[in-house]
Amino acid sequence: MAKPLTKSAIAATIADKVQISKKQAVATLDLLAELAYKNAKNTFTLPGIGKLVLVNRKARMGRNPATGQAIKIPAKKVVKFRVAKAAKDAILGAK
């Protein structure tokens, strides 16, 4: 299995393709992450890749795996990433 790309490897690839410095590429990645964090509440979309959405989870009953005892899990907000159809088709192949 291939190793996952690191931030520096992604920045180096971007820097080579767009012909900018690695520092500028890293700054671009940092800015993109910062924008995603600030705008996730309103849905942050990366065209062709997917979007970050904030979802409200309902309260539910669960089980403690060690004891089997039923416990109440409170409602909470979670961040989810929804993969774009274009990304699914490019990775898995169109059906």
Query: What are the structure tokens assigned to 49, written together?
Result: 């890749």
- Looking at the chain, the whole-number percentage of residues with pLDDT higher than 90 is 91
Q: How far apart are the first and last CA of the chain?
A: 25
DSSP H/E element including 31: helix 22-39
Q: Mean pLDDT over residues 61-86, rounded?
A: 94
User: Would you say residue 1 has pLDDT above 80?
Assistant: no
Q: Mean pLDDT over residues 15-24, rounded?
A: 95
* Rounded Cα gap, residues 82 and 51, in angstroms: 5
Q: Model-level pTM?
A: 0.75
For the chain, how many residues are written?
95
Local structure of 82: helix, strand or coil: strand
